Amino acid sequence: MVQPRAVPSKEYQIKAVFLYNFTQFVEWPANSFNEAESPLIIGVFGKNPFGTYLSETVHGEKISGHPLVVKYYSKVEDAEGCHILFVNQPKTTDLKKVLSQLKSRSVLTVSDASTFIQDGGMIQFLTKSNKIRLLINSEMAKASGLTISSKLLRLSE
Amino acid sequence: MILKNTPIRQKLMAVILLISGAVLLLTCAAFIAYEYFTFRKHMISQLSTLGEIIADNSTAALAFDSQDDANQILAALDAEPHVVAAGLYDEEGNLFAHYPDRLALNSLPSASAKKEFFFENGYLHGFLPVMQSNKQLGSLYLRSNMDAVYARFMLYGQIAVLVVAVCILLAYFLSRILQKGISDPILSLAETAQAVSSKQDYSLRAPKFGEDEIGFLADDFNQMLERIQSQNQEIVSFNQKLEQKVEERTMQLAEANKELESFSYSVSHDLRAPLRAVNGYAKILEEDFGTVLDDEGRRLLTVVQDNAKRMGLLIDDLLSFSRLGRKDIMKSYVDMNGLVKSVKDDIEKTTPHRAKVIIHPLNPLVADRSLINQVMVNLLSNAIKYSAGVESPVVEVKSYKEDGEVVYEVKDNGAGFNNLYVDKLFGVFQRLHSNEEFEGTGVGLALVKRIITKHGGRVWANGEINKGATFYFSLPDNKST
């Protein structure tokens, strides 16, 4: 395992901000939080490409009273309690496993993987003419009890 | 006042129209001013609403760095033609997207994080924050032109003009009808006054339209007319009575005069016969019994004869005086120079005298020749007679024109008279001197006055005792007529 760099590439800085921004355009069902002040957890599965940038970005931020927390997972089972899960460079088998594992949970799944949407993921980052674009599978999100803002859906390629 | 000399109808009309016009204009102005301010507010709230929507829609574009999306959202402003420019700024204030595409970027102001609206350079400018879940993602700038305001005010202006025009027209027609209530009574009063003064007809009356001030004025006016009319009638009837009286008196007077004249004529005429007898018998007595009578008898006979002669003269004068009243005057051109000269010669033939008679050039006359001759005989012989007593008697005759009259004067330096008694001079049988002093019947000057008066002229005199007398007569200067 290669140690994550402290300063991620520009691309991942943007993605980190995007991950944070998702919290503003997505609504989670109330039962996904134990309490009113329960943290909203942004999880990173697999290798951490953001370094400390992501946790710095969300540091001290609150969404609807939920403080934002970043957690790093290496096991799918651990990731069940998070709200956003960034799945980094998964192997296809791993990916399917992760997605099926989280299917019944209200977790917004995000990944760079090129087949992420086909495999049942919710938001896939694309790089298009040097810009990061989004592919969104709103059906999947809806099935998981998540409400994605129409404004965000507009941006889906 | 500008309307000082315009008719009262137009004055009233102008007043009504001016007032209603002013009120309408003020009302319209107030309404438009009110509308102007409310419409500005309305514009702000409209732009604000529009901005809120755009800002809200732009959040995801800003959050996820999607300029395409932002441009798309801003492009929706196409539907709002008044919005001429828009700019979307990110959190750091950098321009993220703008509208329309062709907009010159430097025409956009730098970002403002606050929500604010202001009017500047004929545009409404607005800044709104772009918020998502209480987090500011950037800001939005909108610029709207004022065409809506102008269009609206154009409409208001047109409506105002129409309303004012219609109202003024209405006011005009209403005032045409309503002002009659005021102007008609005044005008009819004025007409009546005019008719009264031009026709001098005081029987006219002003019609009364109502119990207002003008009605009272008409009443007063009519009362005045009534008074004038009745006074006029009084004057006229009084005049008529007066004239009638004067006529009556004149007739009575003329009758009395006639009677008097015929009386005096017949008296003098009848007096002649016995006088002739007295004279004749006195003469027979003198011729046949002159030698028988002694000196005293002859002296008494002479006294009788002298008195009879004097009485004859008196009767002659009286006759000619009374004849004058019955005679019409026959006017003709009279050369006074020749007339006076012949009178002078005649006198000198019968009455020798010492007086120096100076005849200045005299104005000619148009008058009864024989009567004027009589006047000159009387005046000239009087002058010679009354100046006979002085050392070097001088008699002057001259004439001159004065105030449209020709004046003749006969002046002597003789006995004169006391000016106090000048009024008595021209009366019949009025004498200022005794018969012993100067012979005379007292009819001469009365005759002069009568003749001159008959010619429409005047006589007067001037004198002082022992310093002479001047007698004047004047006749209207006929040359001018």
> Chain A: residue nearest B137 by CA?
A21
Please, what are the domains in chain B?
8-176 (3.30.450.20), 202-327 (no CATH), 328-480 (3.30.565.10)
Are residues B66 and A133, on separate chains, in Cβ contact within 8 Å? yes
Residue B478 is predicted with a pLDDT of 66
- Which residue from B59, B65, B135 is facing A151, i.e. has the nearest CB? B59
- Which residue from B56, B59, B64 is facing A18, i.e. has the nearest CB? B64
Half-sphere exposure of B125 (CA within 13 A, CB side): 14
Half-sphere exposure of B245 (CA within 13 A, CB side): 6
Among B62, B64, B90, pick the best mutation site for testing chain A contact (most A Cβ within 10 A). B64
pLDDT at B318 over 50: yes
User: Is A5 within 8 Å of A11 (Cβ atoms)?
Assistant: no
More confident residue, B70 or B480: B70
Chain A residue numbers touching B64 (CB-CB < 8 A): 18, 21, 132, 134, 152, 155
Q: Chain B contact for A18, CB < 8 A?
A: yes
Are residues A132 and B65, on separate chains, in Cβ contact within 8 Å? yes
Chain B residue numbers touching A25 (CB-CB < 8 A): 59-60, 63, 132
Nearby residues of B331 by Cβ (< 8 Å), 6 or more positions away: B366, B367, B368
Is 0.95 exceeded by the ipTM? no
Among A22, A124, A155, A157, pick the best mutation site for testing chain B contact (most B Cβ within 10 A). A155
> Chain A: residue nearest B61 by CA?
A155
Mean pLDDT of B212-240: 91
Are residues A133 and B60, on separate chains, in Cβ contact within 8 Å? no
Interface contacts A/B by beta carbons within 8 Å = 37
> Chain B: residue nearest A21 by CA?
B63
pLDDT at B436 over 80: no
> Chain A: residue nearest B133 by CA?
A24
pLDDT at B480 over 50: no
pLDDT level of residue B28 (50, 70, 90 thresholds):
confident
Residue A122 is predicted with a pLDDT of 92
3-state secondary structure at position B410:
strand
At A31, which amino acid appears? N
Chain A residue numbers touching B132 (CB-CB < 8 A): 24-25
Residue A3 is predicted with a pLDDT of 47
pLDDT, tens digit, 9 for 90 and up, residues B385-433: 888 888 889 999 999 998 889 999 999 998 888 888 888 888 877 777 7
Residue A1 is predicted with a pLDDT of 40
Residue with tokens 């609150």: A62
Share above pLDDT 70 across residues of chain B, in percent, rounded to a whole number: 98
Q: Which residues of chain A have pLDDT under 50?
A: 1-4
- Count the residues in chain B: 481
> Chain A: residue nearest B68 by CA?
A155
pTM across the whole model = 0.54
pLDDT, tens digit, 9 for 90 and up, residues B246-285: 999 999 998 888 887 788 778 777 888 888 899 899 899 8
pLDDT at B13 over 90: no
Chain A residue numbers touching B76 (CB-CB < 8 A): none
Residue A2 is predicted with a pLDDT of 46
For residue A86 the two structure tokens come to: 């960034």
Residue B301 CA to residue B158 CA, distance in Å, equals 135
At A124, which amino acid appears? Q
User: Is B413 within 8 Å of B356 (Cβ atoms)?
Assistant: no
Please, what are the domains in chain A?
10-154 (3.40.50)
pLDDT level of residue B459 (50, 70, 90 thresholds):
very high
Looking at CA atoms only, how far is residue A92 from chain B in angstroms? 27
Looking at CA atoms only, how far is residue A24 from chain B in angstroms? 6
Residue B455 CA to residue B33 CA, distance in Å, equals 96
Chain B residue numbers touching A63 (CB-CB < 8 A): 133
pLDDT, tens digit, 9 for 90 and up, residues B287-298: 898 888 888 988
pLDDT at B146 over 70: yes
Residue with tokens 């003789």: B414
Q: What is the DSSP track for A14-61?
A: HHHHHHHHHHHHEE--GGGSSSTTPPEEEEEESS-SSTTHHHHHHTT-
Burial classification of residue A126, based on how many CB atoms lie within 10 Å of its CB (0-12 exposed, 13-18 middle, 19 or more buried): middle
Q: Residue B481 gets which letter from DSSP?
A: -
pLDDT, tens digit, 9 for 90 and up, residues B227-237: 998 998 999 99
Residue B52 is predicted with a pLDDT of 93
pLDDT at B132 over 90: no
Chain A residue numbers touching B69 (CB-CB < 8 A): 154-155
- Which residue from B57, B65, B135 is facing A151, i.e. has the nearest CB? B57
For residue A143 the two structure tokens come to: 């099935």
Q: Which of residues 60-89 of A touch B (CB under 8 A)?
A: 63-64
Chain A residue numbers touching B133 (CB-CB < 8 A): 24, 63-64
Strand order in the sheet with B394-402: B356-359, B394-402, B405-412, B469-476, B458-463
> Chain B: residue nearest A27 by CA?
B133
The angle at the Cα of B137, spanning B135 to A67, to the nearest 5 degrees, equals 35
Residue B2 is predicted with a pLDDT of 67
Looking at CA atoms only, how far is residue A150 from chain B in angstroms? 9
Among B36-50, B169-183, B426-440, the least confident range: B426-440
Helix (H) or strand (E) holding B125: strand B123-132
> Chain A: residue nearest B53 by CA?
A151
Residues of B with CB under 8 A from a CB of A: 56-57, 59-61, 63-66, 69, 132-133, 135
Residue A125 is predicted with a pLDDT of 92
